[in-house]
Structure 1
Amino acid sequence: MNPEKLAKLQAASAAARIGGKGTPRRKVNKVVKTSGSDDKKLQATLKKLNTQSILGIEEVNMFKQDGSVLHFPTAKVQAATLNNTIIITGTGQKKDLTELVPGILTQMGAESLAQLRRLAEAYQQAAAAGAGPSASASADDEDVPELVENFE
């Protein structure tokens, strides 16, 4: 670019500047999008279904066919009896059934208990298949060799 034109543009922009020492800074308002609008739409839809909150439910566990559990530690449960609908809101975590076993035995039905029994049998078979060769190897490791000569 031509140096004369560049000097001319710089001089023009310096003259057009406003502000300086002591003038307030211009603040930029950043727009923050929240998921509140989605929540409002959901609540409006639930209100149309005439749902009622069910109190006293601390956690929700949904048992899947593959042996995993969809666990909601802090769930909000609502129900619409006329529509035969139950709504569970909250953050769900996918966990293995064995992680939750002691605390959820009272919540399990007959189908889930049968599934837990099958899962336990599968673990026992896997342990028995894995323990066969390793059991003889560990027995060999536990044998203490006899002393052949005196070390003193």
Structure 2
Amino acid sequence: MNPEKLAKLQSQVRTGGKGTPRRKVKKSVKPVVKEDPKIASTLKQLNVQPIPDVEAINMFKEDGKVIGFTAPRLSANIHANTFVVAGKAEEKSPEQALSDMLSRMGGGSLGPDSLSQLAKLTEGLQAGASGAGDVDDDIPDLVASEDVADSKTDLNAAD
């Protein structure tokens, strides 16, 4: 074989510079997803245990949007009321979240009755979201009671 032609073919299959192996296919190295050691040590301190077989988690926000996790990793310490959710999160509208929940529960088939129930639920959510700003969550002011004042004067009179 012609040495010039052979050198040309060899240079075509070399993926790197001089001294690298001759491979026609570049193999890409996938990054390994590794948990942060600080998070792992904190979870160990919190004594959370994994909860298996959780298909989805939906968190309803005050503004009416829903944060949805599909196939999350859920860990919990129920006695300390501590829950840890790990996974890919998506922000959805309430309608999307409810349709996803119904499809998971009902096997994906929505009948005419299910659609009317879904419409009622979304109307209720929208009405609840608009009326949520009217709720007064402040702590009420303390009011002095007349019974307490009378009992204090009775105690002073008994001395």
TM-score scaled by structure 2? 0.44
Max Rg structure: 1
